[in-house]
Structures are given as structure tokens and as C-alpha cells.
């Protein structure tokens, strides 16, 4: 009998284990890469929140009425405002707040309930601003696309954040 084309069960098992091992290594490398990228973006978001907080404090002290921040980071994340009685991330502790986090798709559709709040809690950063005015969510753009500049100002008794 000619056995040239036949693989033994042990050879097949070795091939299957090798393929599974390679797939696991690829998964591990992607996981490490995305954890690193998300960590960097969260640090950038925290830096932006710190800059906004400094401006809000200066506005509260009456030192300035408005101020701009240019070239906001991290790119492709979004600004969100959570104001009044709407549901808020746990980071806001039932206070009005501004958050920078990655936008999720399909929020509040079918079984996707409050995914944006969960995303802001887990991977985003928030700043409590008690007298924050509600604003339309917007995405932070690449500098090559014009970048994202924001203006923080006092309007009456409220703090306004708007894209300029």
C-alpha cells in the first residue's frame, strides 16, 4: 500500500496545535497593541481635560471670560456633555459633566443600552462642571483635516463649550 499521501493522527494533531498557537500569538500581539494605543489616547484625553479644568477655574475666578484650546487630542474621540436629569457616567456622580471618550455605534438600540455611558466610564475621562451648558456632541478631528479647536466661555451663570 502507498502511504506517501497519508498523514498520521499525531502529525495532524501537531499541525492543528501549531495553527492554534499561531492564532493565539496574533491575538496576543493585537491585544497588546490596542491596549497601548488606548492608554496613550486616554492620557491625551486627560491632558485635554486638565487644560479645560484650568480654563474653567480661571473663568470662575473672573480672570477671563473665554479662552480657546487649539489642536485638541485624542483624534477620533468625542466630546460629550451630560447635563440635567439625563443618565450620566459613574465618573460624573450625578453632576453635570463634560467627557472625552471614544464614540460607540448602536447606542440604545435593541439590546445595546447605555453603551456610551459605559465607554466613558471605562475608557474615557470626565470633568465635573456644575454649571455646564448642554452642547451637541462632536468628534475631535485630525490636524490635517483642520484639527479641532474649542472655546470655553461664560454665558450668564453657565459655562459653554463649543467647537470653533
pLDDT in tens, 28-62: 999 888 878 788 999 999 999 999 999 999 999 99
Residue 2, pLDDT > 60, answer no
Average pLDDT over the chain, rounded to an integer = 89
Alpha-carbon gap, residue 6 to 66, rounded angstroms: 78
pLDDT digits (tens, 9 = 90+) for 65-95: 999 999 899 999 999 999 999 999 999 988 9
- pLDDT for res 1: 52
Where do the domains of the chain lie? 9-163
Q: Left if phi > 0, otherwise alpha if psi is -120 to 50, otherwise beta: which for 134?
A: beta
- pLDDT for res 125: 96
Considering only the C-alpha atoms of the chain, give the largest distance between any 2 of them, rounded to a whole number of Å.
95
Q: Provide the strand spans (E) within 2-157.
A: 66-69, 78-82, 97-101, 125-128, 138-139, 150-155
- Cα–Cα–Cα angle for 75, 80, 82, nearest 5°? 160
pLDDT bracket for residue 108 (50, 70, 90): low
Amino acid at each position: 500500500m502507498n502511504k506517501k499521501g497519508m498523514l498520521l493522527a499525531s502529525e495532524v494533531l501537531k499541525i492543528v496545535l501549531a495553527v492554534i498557537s499561531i492564532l493565539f500569538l496574533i491575538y496576543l500581539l493585537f491585544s497588546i497593541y490596542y491596549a497601548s494605543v488606548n492608554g496613550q489616547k486616554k492620557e491625551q484625553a486627560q491632558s485635554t481635560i486638565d487644560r479645560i479644568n484650568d480654563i474653567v477655574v480661571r473663568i470662575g475666578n473672573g480672570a477671563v471670560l473665554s479662552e480657546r484650546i487649539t489642536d485638541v487630542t485624542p483624534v477620533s474621540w468625542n466630546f460629550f456633555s451630560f447635563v440635567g436629569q439625563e443618565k450620566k457616567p459613574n465618573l460624573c456622580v450625578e453632576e453635570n459633566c463634560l467627557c472625552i471618550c471614544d464614540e460607540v455605534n448602536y447606542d440604545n438600540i435593541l439590546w445595546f443600552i447605555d453603551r456610551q455611558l459605559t465607554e466613558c466610564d471605562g475608557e474615557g475621562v470626565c470633568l465635573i462642571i456644575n454649571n455646564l451648558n448642554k452642547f451637541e456632541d462632536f468628534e475631535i478631528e485630525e490636524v490635517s483635516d483642520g484639527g479641532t479647536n474649542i472655546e470655553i466661555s461664560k454665558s450668564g451663570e453657565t459655562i459653554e463649550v463649543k467647537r470653533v
